[in-house]
Structure 1
C-alpha cells in the first residue's frame, strides 16, 4: 500500500511542477517601513515560509525576497505574516521521541508568524512539519509563546504541560466574558481562534485579521459528485496453451459505467489539493474464436464476462482559471471487487475445454485530466494502466474513459 501511495504522490507532484500557482494582489513592508503594493505567488503555505515570490505588476519580472528583508506581508486581506523574534521550543511531539522535561526548552528564532486573530488580543501560529506552536499578545505587549508540551513522566506515562490555559485565563479578562471554556481549551487553531474572537468582540476592539474569515471562503471542503462515463476497454491474455499463437486479443468494447465520487479538499495550498475516492460500476463482455493448439480441435472459443466495482483512491490537483472555472489532474491507485467473473474456454459447438477461469482482483494506476465549471459540472478524460486479472497466466485489462460529473454538494 505504501508503494502505491508513494507512486501516486510522485505522479501528482510531477504534474504539479507544470502547473502555475497564481500571483494575487498583496503587499509587503520592508526593513525601512515602506509598504510596497505588489503581486505575491500565493502558495497558501502549510509550513510558515521563509521567503516568497512576488511581482510589482503583472508584466514585471518575478523576484524572490527572504525574511531578512521583510517585516510583514499580506495577500488579499485574508492571509498575513509578520516577522518576529520569538522563543521557540522544537521538542518532538512524537511519543517515541518525548523527553522527560516538563518545561519547554526555548531558543530565540527569527520567523514569520501567521496571524490568526488580530485585535485587543492577537493570536499567531507557527508550523514546521509536525511542529505546531501558538503565540499571543495584548495591544502594545510583546509576542509570547502559549506554553504546551507533552513529556514522558518518570513512571513512563505521557504527561501534558497545559500552561497556556493559565496564561489565557490571566490575559483574556473582560466583563461579560465567560472564562469557563478556557479550562478545557484544546491546543488547536479552531479552539484558540474561537476564544480570541469572542474576547475581542467583548472588548469592542474589533478584529482586523482573522482566520475565521478565511475559513468561510473554504466552506466547500467536502464534495459528492455523480459520475456517469463512457468506457473504451480492451483485454488481452498471454501464454495460453489452448491457442496456437498463445495470445488471445479479446478486442475493445465501448460500454457505460457509473461512479459516485467523494472528495475532501485539503486545508492548505489554496484548496488546490484534494483526496478522492470513487466506487465505480463497470462491466466487460467479449467473445472471440482462435485457432486451437490441440490437433483434435480446430478452433477454441474464449468468452470473458467481467463485472466489478472499481475502488480508485488518490489525489487531485486543481489549476484555477477564475472563480467558477478550473482544470484538474488526478492520480490514483485502483483495486476492484469482481462479481463471480469468469473466462470460459469451449469448442465451437459449446463443449467446455479445460476449466473455467475465475478472475482475480488486482491493483493498477489511474491518471486523469479534466475541467470543472460553475462548481457543478465537470468532464474528465481518464486512462487506466493495464490490470492483471487472470491468476494462472499473464493478462492486461485496460480502460480509457470520458467521465461526466454533476456535483450535488
Structure 2
C-alpha cells in the first residue's frame, strides 16, 4: 500500500477511535441564512473540504456559480467552515464519517434544517476502512430512504464517489450499485437524482489519493451545479426569472386547494374589509374561495378575491417567516405580487417582496388554519392545486 494511503488509514482509524463511533453533531459557531432555497451539502471530509486551505471544498465553487447565475441559496447544516469567498458556510460534512454514522443522524438533521435539496456524497470512509463493503450500497439506500420518508418533497441528489487512487476497484464496485438505487426510487415517485461524480474528478486532482485539490473541488462544484439546474425547483428560480407562470388564465376564476389538507384558500367569515384573515376552509361554491390572477408584469400576479375585490397581501410588507397573508385594497405593491412555480402538477406562490412561499401554517388540516408566508422548503402545505371555477 502506498505510504500516503497508510497514513490516511491511520488518521481515519484514530479519528474513529477518538470519536467512539457515532457522535452527536456539533452546532455551528453561527448559522447563516439569506432566506433562499435551503440546500444541505451532506457527506464526509470531502463535503467538509479537507485538502484546501480554510475548507469549504466544492461548496465554494458551487456557491459562486449559484450566486453568479442569480440563485438565492441557503446552505444548511450543523457544520460551519470555509473561506470568505464562500457566501454561506453551513454544511453537514463530517470528516471520517461512514454511511452508518450519517444514517444515525439524518432524520434529526432533515427535521431540524428542513432542506429543500440534499447533495449526498458518502461512502469514501467505508471504502478506506474496508467496512462491510458488500452491504455498503444497502446502507446508502437506507440513508436515501430516510431522507425521502422524512421529507417527501426534498430533492435528493446522490453522487457516485470520486476516485480513491489506491482503492479504485472498490470504488467502482460501490458506484456500480448507485444508479439502480436512484432509478428504483425515482420509478416509485421519489425525488431522487443521480450525479456522476466519479467521471468529474480524476486521480490527478487528488494529492493524497482521496481529497481533491482546488481544481478537483471546482470540478465537483460544476457537476453539482449542472445537476441542480436540470431539476426545476431544486434551487428555486434565478433573479429576473420568476419561473414558469403555470396554467393561469387571467380571465378565469380559480379555487386554490392545498395539497396537504385538501382545503381551499378562503376569506375568513366572508369579510370585505382590509386586513381580513385569509384561512383554509373546506371547499364550497362561495365567492370567498374564488380568485383571479391579475398580471403585474414580469411573471408576477396579484390574486383578487371575487367576494371583496381585494387582493392577497403579506401583512405590513413583512419578510419574516410566519407573517400573515391577509386581504387588502389593491395597490400593486411588491407584498401583493407573487410568482408561480410549478411542481408535480401543483403550484407554489412566492412573494416578490420576501421571496417566501404561501403556506398553511403548521401544515394544519383543520378549517380555519391560517395562511402565512414561510421560507420555501417545498412542503405539501406550500403547494396548491388550481381548480377553475369560472
Q: TM-score, normalised by structure 2?
A: 0.23
Greater gyration radius: 1
Greater per-residue helix proportion: 2
Q: Greater RCO between the two (CA within 8 Å, min separation 6)?
A: 2
Q: TM-score, normalised by structure 1?
A: 0.22
Greater per-residue strand proportion: 1
